Amino acid sequence: MINFVKSRIASFGYAFHGWGYVIRYEKNAHIHAVATILAVGLGIWLELPAVHWAVLVLAIAMVWVAEILNTAIEAVVDLASPVHHPLAKVGKDVGAAAVLIAACASVFVGLLILGPPLLERVIPYMSANFR
C-alpha cells in the first residue's frame, strides 16, 4: 500500500513537471496562461454561477489538454524523425490544429459565459461617462 501511495505521488510530480515544461518552453502556453488568468479573474469579479464555472473550467482545461498533447506529439515526432519528413509535418500540423480548434471554441465559450454579465457591469460606467 505504501508503494502504491508513493508511486501515485510520483505520478503527480511527473504530471506537474510536464505541465511546467509546457509553460516554460512553449510560447503559446504563455498566451493560454494569460487567457486562463484573465478568464478566472473575470469569473470571480462577475460572481459567475456554478454551472457557468463548470463550462468555463472545461473550456480552459480543453485548451491546456490540447496544448500539452500537442507538445507531447511534437517531442515524440522530433525524437522519431530528427530529419524533416512529410509525415512528421502532418503529425505536428494536426496537433497544432487541435490546439487551434480548442482555443477558438474556448474563446466562443468565454464570450457566451463572460460577455453578458461583463456588459451588464460595464455599460452603466460607459453611459455615465458619455452624459
Any idea which residues carry the catalytic annotation? 67
N-terminal to C-terminal alpha carbon distance within the chain: 70
Cα atoms in the Cβ-side hemisphere of radius 13 Å centred on 59: 23
Element (H, E) at 62: helix 50-80
The single residue listed with the C-alpha cell 530529419 is 83
b/e sequence 94-105, b meaning 16+ C-beta within 10 Å: ebbebbeebbee
Q: Rounded to the nearest 10 degrees, what angle do helices 27-46 and 50-80 cross at?
A: 170
